[in-house]
Amino acid sequence: MGKHFGTDGVRGVAGTELTPQLAFRLGQAGAEVLGREHKRPVFVVGRDTRISGDMLEAALTAGILSAGGDVISAGIIPTPAVAYLARHYEASAGAVISASHNPFEYNGIKFFSGDGFKLDDSVEAEIEEILEKGCPGEPASGDEVGVRIDASREAADLYIDFLVESAGINLTGKKIVLDCANGAAYRVAPAVYTALGAEITVIGEEPDGININDDIGSTHPERLCETVKATGADIGLAFDGDADRLIAADENGNVVDGDRTICICAKMMKEEGRLAGNRVTATVMSNIGFHKFVKETLGADVDVTGVGDRYVLESMRKTGCAIGGEQSGHIIFLDRTTTGDGVLSSLELVKALYSSGKKMSELADEIEIFPQVLVNAKVTNEGKKAYSGDAEIQAAIAETEKKLEGNGRVLIRPSGTEPLVRVMLEGEDEAVIKPMAESLAAMISEKYR
């Protein structure tokens, strides 16, 4: 990746790292690169609920308009909605202002192509090159200046209709808890489940600009689990700030992560004849139990990619695989849409639940998950790369792998979006692997923080 683009667009602390000036230049550069096939490129722009969203949307929009592009403003709306709307409006591209699951002070900008897919690395590199050179060219003037169209109300309705139609189920009388993370799904998700007849309890539906992901949502499912138990719901469904992730809870208030959700949905898809190529795509972070279930229970193959939903998607497009994703809850149903979609994923999981005639806990228990410990080592941005060449750290990793003696694994990787190195250990006994992971993380953090 370049100086500005990470694994999921351009991110940073809003106002200091991701400045309005940078957002303006991104709009100009994006319009030049993504609008080359159109004299007047059209961008669908959406954002989440962060307080900095207005500022960055105004700057990004101004950049696009100054480069002669038009903007269809979709307002506060999930990231996958922008991908869908780019296709619906036959736009040149889509742009999302969001930092996903990160705290409110962060924000980000990422682009989709006109067909709703995340940009290839080569296209991002072109935008990066223009940013490095400065202004991409003479600004538009006269009747060449772009215009902004406010389509926020229509855009949400279009996306809600798409999800309801895609679900194809009747949830009358079904008790479901929704956790919208005080983020982009706070209107859309309840509207979808209400339209399908579900009896819903909603939390995380009161965004104030700074409470997005704050002890709520897919990265903090504790309140979801408590609410499911308190209400006697059949299932709980939590999204992240931009609603491209899903983490669920069973009727007992136990977390059902992305690995289990993919397995449950893949089983349903096989029964429906939708499991294209008899394969599932996952990342190196997927649990050993995930692989056992897909191979032994489903009799299917697993394609393994690097961490990041963009790499999962790249593999799926090459192989024709219909379902893939990450343990974190990024799940892609390529026969339904073009990117990870938390609400759509939740509908597929709910469909699998009620069509099975079983409880959510029973479906989840069919997949044996091996204990897995993830510890984040805080480092500098330079340290994210430097640790891998450190002889002392590599020796400690080798020693840890030897202790596991083939009954587990060590996976260490830099975060693509934060100044962290993620240390993951998997094995048969959490009490054994947890201190190992903590020790490695402490060593990395002490040397490179």
Which residues are designated catalytic? Answer: 100
Q: Cα–chain-centroid distance for residue 279?
A: 21
Q: What 3-state class would DSSP assign to 399? A: helix
What is the CA 250 to chain-centroid distance, rounded?
Answer: 21
Candidates 376, 390, 375, 380; CA nearest to 419 is 380
Q: Is 148 helix (H, G, I), strand (E, B) or coil?
A: strand
Q: Say which residue the tokens 């060593």 belong to.
A: 443
Check if the beta carbon of residue 39 is closer than 8 Å to that of residue 448: no
Please give the Cα distance from 205 to 211 (Å, whole number).
Answer: 10
Radius of gyration over alpha carbons of the chain, in Å? Answer: 22
The torsion region of residue 434 among left (phi > 0), alpha (psi -120 to 50) and beta comes to alpha
Question: 135-140: long-range contacts (C-beta < 8 A, 24 or more apart)?
Answer: 135/25, 135/28, 136/25, 136/28, 136/29, 136/32, 136/67, 137/32, 137/67, 139/28, 139/66, 139/67, 140/65, 140/66, 140/67, 140/68
How far, CA to CA in Å, does 7 sit from each of 18, 157, 337?
16, 30, 20
Residue 36 CB burial class (10 angstroms; 0-12, 13-18, ≥19): exposed
| β-pair partners for 333 | 323
Q: Rounded to the nearest 5 degrees, what angle is found at the Cα of 224, between the Cα atoms of 222 and 226?
A: 70
Check: CB of residue 65 under 8 Å from CB of residue 147. yes
Please name which of 360, 270, 372, 278 lies closest in space to residue 328, comparing C-alpha atoms: 372
Name the burial class of residue 246, with classes exposed (0-12), middle (13-18) and buried (19+) by CB atoms within 10 angstroms of its CB: buried
